[in-house]
A and B are shown apart, each in its own frame.
Chain A
Amino acid sequence: MSHLLEVKNLQTHFTVDRNVVKAVDGVSYYVDEGEVVAVVGESGSGKSVTQYSGIQLIPTPPGKIVGGEVLFNGKNLLQLSGEELRQVRGGEIGVVFQEPMTSLNPVLTIGYQIIETIILHLKINKKDARKHAIELLKSVGIPDAEERIDYYPHQFSGGMRQRVCIAMARACNPKILIADEATTALDVTTQAQILEMLKDIVKETKTSIVLVTHNLGIVARYADRIYVMYAGEIVESGTTKEIFSSPKHPYTISLLNAIPRLDDPKGRQLIPIDGIPPSLINKRDICAFLPRCLHRTAACSFKPAPKLESVGGNHYTACHEDIKAEAILEVAAARAAVENSSTEIFHHRQLDNENLLEVKNLKMYFPVTKGIMKRKVADVKAVDDVSFFIKKGETLGLVGESGCGKTTIIRSILRMYEPTSGEVIFDGQNIAKMPKSKLRPIRKNISLVFQDPFSSLDPRQSAGSIVGEPLIIHQLTKTKQEYENRVNELFELVGLNPAWKNRVPHEFSGGQRQRIGIARALASNPSFIVCDEAISALDVSIQAQIINLLEDLQKKLGLTYLFVAHDLSVVRHISDRVVVMYLGKIVEVADWKSLYENPLHPYTKGLLAAVPIPDPFVEETRDHVMLEGEIPSVMNRPNGCAFINRCPMATKECSEVEPPLVETEEGHSVACIKVGKEVGL
């Protein structure tokens, strides 16, 4: 039987500084008609390059396809000439890229861009092309398509732009749609909407989809078959159920153990994968996962790299050993037991009853000015009357879609912004209006861990002096020796080798840089640490390392965290209590258990339903209630309940009153008049 797309032993190499990087090293796979195939791997594993090699979208030089063939409908794409190739890409194979912001031309209307593609490939006249474009836009769920076809990309939100990109990729009824991390940059609810739409497209048109992603949850929910890539090679392949129920390759097994899940037992320790992905420069013929493998044997290091072998039916894996998931778990558990023998389990941590931070009626308005005189015409209410507290030693999770005011809250608490009104009481002192000079000594008790481990470290300073900076600023160490000792101590605390002190940030990997950022945050011995999406920029296998580090540090040093994130599984894993925000207001506050097991607010319910669980069997039983629409702009906030436009429960009375945050049971508050009625308040 011939496949729609069959890639055989593909080899793509890049030449970087006279070194050969084997980005794709002998990859073979196939895609059948009407199938959703997922290619999973961390960044740098070669998953995108594999896809782009087939349609020759890789830059040459430095890239070069040195071997293999890509058969599409029987034609070898690697031998096609320019014109034939152009007909295939964009015509028969469509691509949707990760960044909807940059993959559309900002100075042309979306209609022009779609029509251009249609005319190019289908050779029809402009009027028909326009009609076709409008149909396409409708099919990807863009309302008022007739009118919006003449809009420019900036007039659309991120999710809508991604829909436009999909419409464009589908313009010529492609047989294959490659979605390269197409939903990674989107909010979880938008991501779910887009993926559901893609699924419907597959059903209706028999188009095949290649999902390139690192998100195992998405894969479990949508893919039929999976290829797991590591270091430029496919290490395991099979149907989604096979791979999730009996993963065979130690990398796949470890990956599944490293990610927090929405249905985890709370105490579960994440089992991180040691080390960092290997550099692909001058790769040797040896198992690439070897240094990070928990199941390696002495023999592995002498054998040539393992080849994919069938372990039953269509399930292939590339490993010397016959491994069972349980065996790896045992090894990991044994190791974890040794490491954590002295520390108690996370949720048994004793919480103080004292509030470390209390935010009362915090408002952060940004004035909208107009004209030469900068007359104030309106306020953008980025944070509108928000109150919450954090107890000593607890972790408060703060979640919500982008644009809900999470970052503004952090910035007002940290006094990067001057709050419009309200109180921020830290350790008994109101710091909201405190003059900067009095604030300075308090700063050493509050630290921030940034999202981006690349831009948050001074590229010109050595790691040691970055970590030591707070010590100097607050004059915490008296002698040179004391300073050095403290820096060494901090390095060890976050699991870095103090011998690396003199290196500059770019010599570290992303995860290591985040450790440096954490070490810097800890340097002044703070009691309170704000983590602003601290792990979302990291690779899946590294995330678990950092989550565990944060948890360990909390146990050792009694820290209090404000953990801001959009990943609800991670927040569930790490938080004691969770605050859900929508459009500058808190809609629900509860301890993690009642929030995740008994969410009250329709928004919370929608968010949770949108999070995919990395388990195809669980996913089958969940009903996918999608939250409609997108978060509106803060500028035109609806009257009454802000959630009214997307709420399945909304009635007329919701538009009349702004729902107050009321406590339905102890520690669980919700801002919805409907829910309030239901529980009899």
Chain B
Amino acid sequence: MTTEIIASERVVEQEVKKTSNTLRFFRVFLARKTVVASLAIILIMIICAIFAPLIAPFDPYKQDYSQILSEPSLAHPFGTDLVGRDVLSRIIYGSQAALLVGIVSVAIASVIGIILGLFSGYVGGLIDAIIMRAMDALMAIPPIILAVVFVAAFGGGLTNVIITLGLSLVPTYARLMRGQVLAIRESDFIVAQELMGSTNLRNMIKHVLPNCISPLIVLITLNFGVAILAEAGLSFLGLGIVPPKAAWGSMINDGYKYLLSNPILSFAPGMAVVLVVVAFNIVGDALRDALDPRLKGTL
């Protein structure tokens, strides 16, 4: 009888704790309206990218010489460009390139960076020194210069843009990961693993990695925005996605010659970039606050 009472009390308490933890995450995460709005923007972008052919009112590549540089109208909300293509449709299709670049380059960067950082931090010594100096060297080159060199050597196009951006983002991940690993490595529970005779690989993958992941998730979210912005920058310089494929950066470039007469041509794709990048940043910040309040302001 006595033990039953105690046991049930404990269970009740544990349940309270558990629900309040998940609740806390969502409460903090969705506390601000801007976060909800940002999530909506990202969702719309993803839907646009996936269902572009269904959503876009026109074929983004169909040139219509009767409609060159037309003003915004009901049929063409953002007008048409130099060769009469519908700007709205091109923006919708442009989200495909943006999303692809964002996801793949960040995936490349995070996977390579996390592996390097994990080894560097856990093994230490000479390996650590070599990896980190390599990362420093990579970081010293501005991503745009790196991209210029890369594109000059291997030619433009989606694949090369992705590879370049992926590589230039690697050091951030490696450094963040290494810092996390160094802290976790000293914890008693890793000491406990070593005393059990566990192998380094097992410790790294099973115990260190899961405990380092939450700031990395935040960084990944923030980097989607960075990658999309960089892709736009490269495309604007003509180093990115090869026309006629729709990309927001190259659309801004196409339109800026008519900035005075027809500003909507640059303004519309520009807004798309700004909205998406800001949305990813806001979501990243909110995610950080919700996942780990201690990280506030450190990323």
Q: Does A17 contact B (CB under 8 A)?
A: yes
Is B188 a contact partner of A292 (Cβ separation < 8 A)?
Answer: no
- Does the CB pair A507–B17 fall under 8 Å? yes
> Are the C-beta atoms of B189 and A275 separated by less than 8 Å?
no
In the bound complex, CA of A276 to CA of B11 (Å): 12
Report the count of interface residues on B (CB-CB < 8 A): 31
Q: Verify B6–A507 contact, CB threshold 8 A.
A: no
Q: Is there contact, CB below 8 Å, between B196 and A473?
A: yes
Show 28 residue pairs from A and B whose CB-CB distance is below 8 angstroms, ordered by the A residue: A17-B23, A274-B3, A274-B6, A275-B9, A278-B9, A278-B13, A279-B13, A281-B16, A441-B197, A448-B195, A450-B188, A450-B191, A452-B188, A456-B187, A456-B189, A456-B192, A458-B189, A458-B207, A460-B211, A461-B207, A461-B210, A469-B196, A469-B198, A473-B197, A474-B197, A497-B7, A500-B14, A520-B192
A444 to B196, CA, bound (A): 6
Q: Can you list, as one digit per residue, whether each of B1-43 has a CB less than 8 Å from chain A (1) or not (0)?
A: 0110111011001101110100110010000000000000000
User: Contact: A291 with B195, CB < 8 Å?
Assistant: no
Set of chain A residues within 8 Å of B193, measured between Cβ atoms: 469
Number of A-B contacts (CB under 8 A): 79
Q: Please report the C-alpha to C-alpha distance between residue A455 and residue B187 in the assembled complex, in whole angstroms.
A: 6
The answer on a CB contact under 8 Å between A457 and B18 is no
Asked whether A443 and B195 contact (CB < 8 A) given A275-B10, A459-B211, A460-B210, the answer is yes
Chain A CB within 8 A of B194 CB: yes
Chain A 245-287, CB within 8 Å of chain B: the 1/0 string? 0000000000000000000000000000011101101000000
- Indicate if the CB atoms of B16 and A279 lie closer than 8 Å: yes
**Docked-complex contact A507 and B198, CB < 8 angstroms:** no
A452 and B24 CA atoms in complex are apart in Å by: 26
With A443-B197, A503-B14 as given contacts, are A291 and B211 in contact (CB-CB < 8 Å)?
Answer: no
Asked if B196 and A443 make an inter-chain contact with CB atoms under 8 angstroms apart, the answer reads yes
A456 touches B198 (CB 8 A): no
Residues of A within 8 A of B62 (CB): none
The answer to the question of B294 belonging to the interface, with a C-beta cut-off of 8 Å to chain A, is no
A465 to chain B, nearest CB (A): 9
Q: What 1/0 flags go to A583-626 for Cβ under 8 Å of B?
A: 00000000000000000000000000000000000000000000
Set of chain B residues within 8 Å of A458, measured between Cβ atoms: 189, 207, 210-211
Question: Which of A292, A458, A470, A474: most chain B Cβ within 10 A?
Answer: A458
In the assembled complex, the CB of B260 is this many whole angstroms from the nearest CB of chain A, namely: 54
* A440 vs B9: C-alpha distance when bound (angstroms): 42
User: Could you list 8 further interchain pairs (A-B, Cβ under 8 angstroms) beyond the known A448-B191, A470-B196?
Assistant: A446-B195, A452-B188, A455-B188, A458-B189, A460-B207, A461-B207, A469-B193, A469-B198
Q: Which A-chain residue is minimally distant from B15 (CB atoms)?
A: A507
Q: Does A414 contact B (CB under 8 A)?
A: yes
A279-B13, A281-B16, A416-B195 known; A457-B189 Cβ under 8 A: yes
CA distance A275 to B11 in the complex (A): 12
Is residue A66 contacting chain B, with contact meaning CB distance below 8 A?
A: no
Decide yes or no whether B202 CB sits under 8 A from chain A. Answer: yes
Q: Which 6 A-B pairs rank lowest in CB-CB distance, beginning with the nearest? A: A456-B188, A443-B197, A440-B197, A460-B210, A275-B6, A455-B188
B95 CB to closest chain A CB, in angstroms? 35
> With the chains together, A503 CA to B7 CA distance in Å?
15
Q: When each residue 499-520 of chain A gets 1 if its CB lies under 8 Å from chain B and 0 otherwise, what string results?
A: 0100100010000000000001
B211 to chain A: which residues have CB within 8 Å?
Answer: 458-460
Report A601 CB to chain B, min CB distance, Å. Answer: 32
In the bound complex, CA of A474 to CA of B211 (Å): 23
- Nearest neighbor of B188 in chain A, beta-carbon distance: A456
The reply to whether B14 and A507 contact each other, CB–CB distance below 8 Å, is yes
Q: Is the CB of A439 within 8 A of B197?
A: yes
Expressed in whole angstroms, the Cα–Cα distance for A374 and B231 within the complex equals 48
Q: Are A455 and B198 in contact (CB under 8 A)?
A: no
Give the complex CA separation of A135 and B192 in angstroms. Answer: 49
CB distance from B287 to the nearest CB of A (A): 18
Contacts of B197 in A (CB 8 A): 439-441, 443-444, 473-474
Q: Bound complex: CA of A470 vs CA of B198, how far in Å?
A: 8
Check A292–B6 contact: CB distance below 8 A: yes
**A278-B9, A291-B9, A460-B210 known; A414-B195 Cβ under 8 A:** yes
CB-defined interface of A282-306 with B at 8 Å, one 1/0 digit per residue?
Answer: 0000000001100000000000000
A447 in contact (CB, < 8 A): yes
Please give, as numbers and ranges, the residues of chain A lying within 8 Å of B207 by CB-CB distance: 458, 460-461
Name the interface residues of A422-480: CB closer than 8 Å to any CB of B: 439-441, 443-444, 446-448, 450, 452, 455-461, 469-470, 473-474
Closest A residue to B2 by beta carbon equals: A274
